[in-house]
Structure formats: C-alpha cells, structure tokens
Structure 1
C-alpha cells in the first residue's frame, strides 16, 4: 500500500469515527418559500456547522399525508403555517414535546395562544390581517383610511372595495372568522352583509386582490400584510393598514415523535425562536412578524409591532376556535352573498337611499328591512354544534355528509330568499 493511499484511508476512518467532524443530518419539512428557507438554512448551518440541514418542501395538503406515513417519512421537524395540520397530527400522536427554554417568549398574544396547551408545538411568526389601500385612489374619491371592519360597511365605501371569497381564496376563511369572533356571530354576519354591499367579490388569490387595488380598479381590499408588502416591494402603489384590533395567522413548529435526531431538532427550534432567528423575519424578502417581543426594539422603521398593538387594542381572535367552523362559514358566506351578490347590493343601495331621506314614520320599517338583509339562517348554538360543523368539514370526502350539507344549504336558501323578498316588498311600499 502506497503512502498517499494509506493517508487517505486514515483520513476517511477519522472522519467516519469522529462525531465532532461527521455531520448529523436534520430533515425539516416546510411550506416556506425558497427565499425564506435559504436564509435560515445558511444562518443555521453557520451557527451549527456539525448539522447538515436537509429541507423538504410540501404544501399543507401534501404535508399531512406525508407526515402520517411510517416513521413520519424520516422528517425531524415540521415548520409551516398550517395550524390544522399541527392539530391533526397531534391527535395522531405524531409530535414529541418541544422541551425547549421559552425564556423571553410569551405564551399568549391577547386571546391567541403562542404555544400548544400541551407543549407539542409553538408559534414562530405571524402574519396580520388588515386592509390593502391605494392612497391615491382614496384621495381622488375623498375617502378616509379605514381602521376597523366597521368602517368598511359605511355607505361612503360603496363601490370602492374588493373582498376575497373565503371558499376560493386560501387566506380568507380565517380572516372572515376573525370578524365573527370580534363582533359575535349575529353582529359579525350583519357587518359582513354591509361590507359585501360595497364590494366586488374576488375569486382568485391574494396577489390578484393587491393587483385590483394597485391598478386603481378599487381602493381598498381586506388582505394579509406580507402579501401587500410583497406587492409594495414590486412597485405597487399600496399601503397596508392593520385592522383594530388585529387578527393574526400564525406559523408553528414541531418535532416529530419518530425523529432520530431530537437533540439537533431542538437546536433548530431554539435557533428559529432565538433573537438571531427571529430578526431574520425582518428581512425585506421575508417581512413576517416575530413571536419574540424583545426583537421589535431593533425593528426596521415603520415595521408593525403586534405586541405593542395588542397592548392598545387587545387581540380577540383565537385561530384554534376558528378551525372547526371554517367550512360551515364558507358555505354560509356563499349562500348569503356570493350566490345573491347583485340582488343583495341592489337592496342595500335602495335601503341607504331611503335612509338618507327617511321620514319619522318610516324609521321602524327601514329598521325591519335592515334586519331582513343582515339576518342569518343558522344561529350561534347551531353553528357551534360539532356534528353540524363536521358535516361541512367532511362533505368533500363523505357522500352522506355532502347530502346533509346540501339539505341544510337548501333550507338556508329558502329562508334567505324569503327574507330578501320581504325586504323588496317593504321597499316598494316606501316608494312615492
């Protein structure tokens, strides 16, 4: 054996036998965009050169079955903005407890939990709901910046809004439910009716919403902050206003129970939640809201601080409460508004016209018309019934659930049409 060959053999033996030199592989499953993942990958491997980070990219609907396979498909860490997946996998016993030091991390932001009640996963960042606005458009039409959802229902915004349909736009269902949680079931749907009266309903995704406002076709669109920030970075003449109080869509992180690299996984989780990891969220290519309050002391100028905002306007939205009824909400929104948009808007327009010139003896009738336009065909108790919620959740995979959902929807249609007909008749009686 020649000397160079003996040296090479010795080096290979040393590398294979020395754990300080041989890298440990850590597999992270995520839905984050490459711009986000690459920055964290680089920073983590610089901090932990002994760990080789392997990243698998899957959208939430693909991630759930992937993580449900034997040995969880070799994944060590799941890091994504899909609370439904984290909860479903928790039910399967798929997580091990995080077991990390949470010093400096709050357990709640107002009503929103920042850590699972049993310690299996926690929030790593948030995106805030609010309003994408075109300042030039608002100035042209002499409109004020909206601050609350109630502002959007004002008659002065009629024809100036764009709103995503929750059954067809991914981020919208939880945003709509945040209105229901903030204002209550009946008042929330009544408020949404007034907002829809002012709105163009949009079927496409969030980018299309910002395009509509950026082009000046409409002046305001409820949206999510980082979508708007991305549009602004690409030159759109927009501004984002976080609603008061603000609701948030959180991202979470968990360690797989089947992980063979638990210590390395905890180092990754700790890094994501560390000041260094959290400050990466401020980067112009990421623009998310950190879950560690202290890092906002070093935030870029005009960067939104959810902890400071919640001190003034406490968060009332809890995404955990929303999940069971999102499918029901989507169906109800479509039966109330999407299917009857033109009819509803015509009724609101007539109502508002009469309200401007109402005589004393017409006030009670106008109030009755408003009640007919804002009532919902299912009350709070029914909407919170687990068996009713499950019908709509299961309808896409269960024929019996689909039949039950269709029967309920038909009853809703009948009641809605009856109320709108009554409103039309009452409006005719107000005509001279």
Structure 2
C-alpha cells in the first residue's frame, strides 16, 4: 500500500515539475541577466589614479560619493614611476582620471598618447597659469600647493635646535642626523624641489648645497609623505615637504609646524582624463564637482589641505623659478644622479660632512689646515658630471629609456656605475683628508 502512495506522489510531482519548468527557466534566465548587468556595472567603477597618499586625498571623494551614490569610485595610489606603468597597462588596469602635482608625469603621459583634453574647457586663473609647467590643454588645475620646511617643535627644543627657514639652514652642522627628505626618483614633488635648487643656485652651488644637506640626513624616505610622518612621530626634527602634508600634520599634531621656503616652486594639482577611460561622463561630473563652490571648499579644508582656485595669495607672492624645458629634458638624469651621489652614498656622505664640520669648528685653523678643509669640502660637494653634460641631448635620450621603457641598458648601467664609483672615491678622499688633519692636531 505504501508503494502505491509513493508512486502516486511521484507522478503528481512530475506533472507539476513539467508545468513549472518553463516558468523556472525564464526566472533563472532573468536572474542571470540581471546579475550579469549588475556585476558588469560593479566591475566598471570610475577609476582615479593619484600619486598622492591615501591621506589626505581620500577625503576629496567622500562628499561626491554621497551626492552620487550610483557612481562607484575606485582610487589607486601609486608613485609616479609605477603610476605611469599602470596607465600604460590600461587593458589590465583601466584608468579614467589622473590626479598629481608632477608635471613631468603628465608630459610623459601626453607623449605616450595616454591623456586627452576634456570635453569641456576649463581655464586656469591667470595668476596660477604662470606656474603651470605642463603648458597643455589636457591638464586642469583643481588647486595648488607650495613647498615648506616642516618641523617638530618638541624635537627641536629637546635637541636645542633652531627652527629652520631655508635650505641653507638644513645644511648647518647642528642638523646632522636630524633631518629627512625623499628621493626624487620616487617623488615627483621632490624632483621639483631638487631642480628648483639647481636652477636657483646654479649647478655647482646647487649640488654643493644638496650634498651638504645629504650629509645631515638621518635617512632618505622612499615616499614624500614618509618625511612628514617621521617628523610627526619625532623620529627626525625637520624636512622639506609639500605644504598639504605639513598642513594636515599641523591639524592633527599641534607640536608640528612649517615655514614656506622663499622663492620656491608652486605646484598646481593637475587633473587629466585618460584616452582609454570608460567613464567619461562620470569623469566630467567629478571634474565639475571639484571646481564647484563646495568642491573648492573641500580642497582648501584641513582634510585635503591644498590652496583653492579662489586663494591666489601664495601663488601671487611667488615668482616662477623653473625653466620647464630643462626640468623635463634632464629629469631622468637628475633623479638617477641624486641616487648615485646622495641616496647610495649616505653613510660616507654623513661621515665626510661630520668630519668637515668638526674641523671647521676649531678655534684656530692654519692656512694649511684651511686648504685641506677646502679641498675636502670641494670633494664632498662635487658631482661626477657638469651641467653641460646634463643638458646633452645624447645623454638625455639614453636616460629617457628609464622613464618611457623602464629599461636599464648596458650603457646606462655603466654610466651609473661610473658616477657611483667617482662619488665614492671623492668621499673617501675627503674623509682621508679630514682624518689626516685630526692626526696632525692630536
């Protein structure tokens, strides 16, 4: 009897399943198509690539997300070198918009055909236009920054150090081991700072100043915001940083402060639209938001800490100091040279300048001793190439492969090795001269 019941139930279920199958099939197809569209939409957010750090840049998008909850945004944070490589691999990592203060980065993007003019025209204010080094209709300014010496007041007081105001202050003997900076090879803003020193002071005096400052460095940071972090944490007393990092730190820590470097570069914060972006309509919405009254208020807030396009005070008080053609053409040479004569020579550079500064403190210095000190100072100050060589088209073309193709050719490797060896030899000679001077006095 039980077998008959089971057979009957099975028969009924089979009939119902046959009736429901077309309906279920349509339902499954409908759900599948809906999921496909939803996943495609979720997989294609507005992708923004920036060379700035996550903090404070993260705050720049919060209100826009609230006003446009239907527009997903993905922000990618990269240094300039990896950022350029990321954009070039657009089929793997699609990017819609780029935000950075590095004009050489945008020049490289433009030369590679990776950015385009936006569909709307956005003009920079005339007072900021004179500081624009991209000279391109493919870049838009959303704000700007200046260069500062940031310091930790508690650290300076603890170590009996004065507040530094200039590059020359950072080269003083008393700041030995108390300062930090980043390498221009990893930081576009640091490259702008270094080139600014070289163009203002001249090649010989500029490198002499940079190498003497290098002798005072506690370390070289891989990222520019690493300098402001180290100062805030009390690991070092001072360093040169873009003002947005210094302003953000001062807002959080009342014992940090900063001074604007006199007659230094102004850095517009540029936006650019990529040629292969997939969300051009949403990019326009984001640009219009940045340039709106609310967007400009946010840009000048403590969270983002940049000067808005309604604030001309700093830009108008600073004269342009950079020849952009020189900046662009020898960028890879300057970045590589800095590493060979400062970053990779840090320990010997520290020792050489410590001995030179100690010798210069002596109460009585004879003419012979002064000659030894001057000779050691020259050795520790000089770099392996002349300014004329840095402007050589042949050398520039060789080093351009580093940024465009990320290739170290045999020729480039040999040049870098020669620079490093010559710099090391000069420092060894300077140290030897100062040690001989100590021996004579003892």
Please give the TM-score of this superposition, normalised by the length of structure 1. Answer: 0.74
Alignment correspondent of 1:38: 62
| Counterpart Cα distance in 1 of 2:170 and 2:214 | 9
Q: 363, 375, 381: which is aligned to 2:370?
A: 363
Question: What do you get for the CA RMSD once the two structures are aligned?
Answer: 3.7
Indicate how the Cα distance of structure 1 residues 65 and 171 shifts in structure 2: closer, same or farther if over 3 A, else same.
Answer: same
> Which of 107, 112, 117 is 1:87 aligned to?
107
Give TM-score scaled by structure 2 length. Answer: 0.73
Listed as ranges, the matches of 1:90-105 within 5 Å are 90-93=110-113, 94-96=115-117, 100=121, 102=123, 104-105=125-126
Give distance in 2, aligned partners of 1:198 and 1:330: 19
Q: Secondary structure at the match of 1:340?
A: helix
For structure 2, the 5+ residue unaligned runs are 1-43
Q: Distance in 2 between matches of 1:287 and 1:206?
A: 15
Q: Which runs of 5+ in 1 are unaligned?
A: 1-24, 47-51, 297-304
Counterpart mapping for 1:188-207 below 5 A:
188-207=206-225
**Per-residue deviation, 1:171:** 4.8
Match of 1:351 in 2: 356
Stretch of structure 1 that moved more, 321-330 or 265-274: 265-274
Q: 1:87 to 1:80 in 2, by over 3 A?
A: same
Select which of 234, 244, 264 maps to 2:262.
Answer: 244
Offset of residue 264 of structure 1? 8.0
Distance 1:129 1:395 in 2: 27
The one of 381, 385, 393 aligned to 1:374:
381
Asked whether 1:330 is paired with 2:338, we answer: no
Equivalent residue runs for 1:225-264 within 5 Å: 225-235=243-253, 237-255=255-273
In the TM superposition, residue 276 of structure 1 has moved relative to its aligned partner by 4.3
Cα distance in structure 1, aligned partners of 2:47 and 2:370 = 62
Could you tell me whether the CA contact under 8 Å between 1:98 and 1:254 is conserved in 2?
A: no
1:299-328 deviation line (CA, Å, top 9, x unaligned): xxxxxx422541xxx241466743443433
- State how far apart, in whole Å, the 1-side matches of 2:139 and 2:404 are: 28
Report the Cα distance in structure 2 between the residues aligned to 1:385 and 1:216, rounded to whole angstroms: 43
**Counterpart position of 2:346:** 341
Matches of residues 91-130 of structure 1 in structure 2 within 5 Å? 91-93=111-113, 94-96=115-117, 100=121, 102=123, 104-109=125-130, 112-113=131-132, 116-130=134-148
Cα distance, 1:343–1:390 mapped onto 2, change above 3 Å: same
Structure whose CA Rg is larger: 2
* Aligned residue-pair number: 384
Write out per-residue CA displacement over residues 38-79 of structure 1, whole angstroms, 9 at most, x where no aligned residue.
224556x69xxxxx7553433464576557758x9694x554
